Chain A
Amino acid sequence: MSNAAVLSPRSRSGKRGSGKNVRRRPRPGVGKSISVALLVLGAIGMIAPFLWMFTTSLRDASQAYDLPPQWLPSEWDWSNYAAAVSGPVPILRNMFNSAVIAIAVSIGMIITAPMAGYAFAKIEFPGRNSIFVGLLSSLMVPAQVTIIPLFLLMRTFGLLDNPLSLILPGITGALGVFLLRQFFLGLPQEIIDAARMDGATAWQTYRLIALPLAKNAVSTLGVITFLGSWNAYFAPSIFLNSTDTATLPLGLVLMLGPYGAGNVAQVMAATTIAIAPALIVFLVAQRWIIASLTQSAVKG
């Protein structure tokens, strides 16, 4: 990649700036402009593929492969979107399937995970810690190990090619419990005790006091769960096997066809549609997603 030579200039410029004579403010203008230049270069590398996707989606299919590549749309021809949507692969149907699964999984998760997280943080019961550790260890179990028995399980219950095969395993999960437990641990015990003293039941305390305070953590969990489900490929590719039940990622791979033989302008139009939810989430919620994702890693 183009950034390969980047490491050495950076450290060199650092050294140069803080040599023996210049000690007050090392790296005045030069070092900073080099690093901004590098960051710009990297940012272009991250965004360019998406820009190309969008531009290509607006080009006439016959010109989609014309070189030199265009980076900005010269015409706004939305016909590829219409064609992608009405093609042999039912992209809209696939999108609907993805949405149903992702919404169901997210709703399930934001109900089950905060309850469990709250119990592990604030309710005393025998075996609490060992159950929690057991749950956490499931984060070490890769999906590839459980997929075969899960496939057999779904087959036994006639759930193959059925969205339930993805919804049922998705509505609970250790990661959400872990995140919410962390949050509830930080909640002052006095708040809980006060409510209990006032005669609130455990359920009322949770539902009316604790849960509303966890609004941000729960929303973040919902968004992360939604995106995870919306983006999933591995399990859907094994449990679903008809174009009508396929989720959007499966539909797009079908549309792409073997060896990328599909109509590239239409594929890029469909991919643009598929990326839209991530973009929306990103624009609306990036700040708290970033905060909650990084917090759990850095503060452990």
Chain B
Amino acid sequence: MTLTAPKTALPPAPLPGRGGRPGRQTAARREALTGYLFTAPTVIGFLVFVLGPLVAALYLSLTKYNILTAPKFVGFDNYVRMFRDERLATTYGNTVLYVGAAVVLINAFALLFAVLINQRLPRVLTYVFRSAYFFPYLVALVYVSIIWQALFQKDTGILNYYITALGGERIDWLNSSEFSKVSVIIVDTWRNVGFAMLIYVAALQEVPKDMVEAARMDGANEWQIFRRITLPMISQATFFNITITIIGAFQIYESIIVLTRGGPGDASRSVVMYIAEVAFNKFDMGYASAIAVTLFLIIMLVTMAQFRLRKSWVNNE
């Protein structure tokens, strides 16, 4: 830790006989070598497990490949085929619905709770609330989905118990084509709201208090303060949260497997479930790769669009 030995060697000129340009060059070269060595594991991992597979996926998407025989190049056939694939349209439609619901619901609830929690509350309360809202985010989506699918059961679930106790009718949460989607959205919102809330809370704490106080002195009401000061000041957090929710919701997968298995029919199936089915049940690897590439392009475009938008509407001090 303390490096005492080298320190005693300080007084004499460091590394005598190595001054001048050649010495500096070797030093620079040695430094560069060190840089490459330090980054080598990460770069190799990136090449083998991300970049290589990405390029392979792009190639496979142009082939017909069933694992048993070698991939056969078919050009853009797989991409053309997507336009006639009704199941793909259904699953993409569902996924877009999940994305829209996630962006609106997660951000609305997260911002609401963040604003409420950011008031002057007793410290214990703040701590308890923050913990309660954040905890589901740390638990695997599979596990919380297992709990929720028990709560959602039509005849034995406690959700319907309370609904009927309040005079409502039993809802077929998991097996009706509308409510299966609602169930997926509920679980997704419930699990992710706490993380988004923490991001908003952190941003809210950076809003200058004297600015808010000054606006209040000038007679602005709470809504105006929120709309004109708070919201613009936290736009970077909003940007981050929206990007994260979009990317996350496009990849929604295991909650649906546990809750509805995609059913009834394809009513709640997401596009990722469809990719997995085409690739690993039907072994239509080329077509599955092509669908996966569209998902990649969408996520890339969303990310890049958000980065560009960020410049125009995010207040960067």
Residues of A within 8 A of B (CB): 1, 3, 6-7, 10-11, 14-15, 17-19, 23, 26-27, 32, 35-36, 38-39, 42-43, 45-47, 49-50, 52-53, 56, 65, 67-69, 111-113, 115-116, 118-120, 123-126, 128, 131, 134-135, 138, 140-153, 168-169, 171-174, 177, 195, 197-200, 202-204, 206, 208-209, 212, 227, 230-234, 237-238, 249, 252-253, 256, 258-260, 264, 267-268, 271, 274-275, 278-279, 281-282, 286, 290, 293-295, 297-298, 300
Contacts and interface: CB of A to CB of B under 8 A. Distances in A.
A142 B296 contact: yes
A142 B251 contact: yes
Given A135-B46, A145-B292, A275-B139, A172 B41 contact: yes
Nearest to B191: A46
A204 B5 CA distance: 12
A294 B204 CA distance: 12
Top 10 nearest A-B pairs by Cβ distance?
A172-B45, A125-B35, A14-B222, A231-B140, A119-B38, A149-B53, A149-B56, A146-B53, A294-B202, A125-B32
Given A26-B222, A168-B49, A264-B150, A145 B54 contact: yes
B34 A123 contact: yes
Interface stretch (B77-85, B86-94, B192-200): B192-200
B42 A293 contact: no
Contacts of A36: 116, 121, 125
B112 A256 contact: no
B46 to A, nearest CB: 6
B131 A198 contact: no
A296 to B, nearest CB: 9
Interface centre among A26, A115, A147 (most CB of B within 10 A): A147
Contacts of A15: 221-223
16 contacts: A1-B190, A38-B112, A46-B132, A119-B34, A145-B54, A148-B57, A153-B48, A168-B49, A172-B45, A198-B3, A200-B3, A212-B1, A233-B257, A237-B276, A253-B142, A298-B206
A13 to B, nearest CB: 8
B229 interface: no
A124 B144 contact: no
A118 B38 contact: yes
Contact of A46 (B15, B190, B250): B190
- Most chain B CB atoms below 10 A, which of A46, A126, A206, A237: A46
B45 A171 contact: yes
Nearest to B115: A10
Nearest to B263: A259
A14 B39 contact: no
B232 interface: no
Given A145-B54, A148-B292, A43 B133 contact: yes
B128 interface: yes
Nearest to A37: B116
Given A238-B280, A249-B142, A282-B138, 18 more contacts: A1-B189, A39-B125, A49-B148, A52-B158, A115-B41, A120-B39, A123-B31, A140-B296, A144-B251, A145-B53, A169-B49, A177-B42, A199-B14, A208-B1, A231-B140, A290-B134, A290-B198, A298-B202
B298 to A, nearest CB: 9
Nearest to A44: B132
A233 B222 contact: no
B203 interface: yes
Given A202-B31, A234-B254, A26 B142 contact: no
Given A231-B141, A298-B237, A150 B198 contact: no
Contacts of A1: 186, 189-190
B253 interface: yes
B258 interface: yes
Given A15-B222, A138-B46, A168-B49, A146 B54 contact: yes
A50 B148 CA distance: 10
Given A125-B32, A172-B41, A268-B147, A233 B296 contact: no
Contacts of B112: 3, 6-7, 10, 38
Nearest to A172: B45
A18 B222 contact: yes
Nearest to A3: B109
Nearest to B294: A145
Given A10-B112, A149-B52, A151-B280, A293 B147 contact: no
Given A45-B190, A115-B39, A151-B280, A17 B136 contact: no
Contacts of B158: 52, 67, 69
Contacts of A290: 130, 134, 198
A141 B296 contact: yes
A266 to B, nearest CB: 12
A116 B35 CA distance: 8
A292 B51 CA distance: 28
B140 A113 contact: no
Interface in B260-291: 261, 272, 275-276, 279-280, 285, 288-289
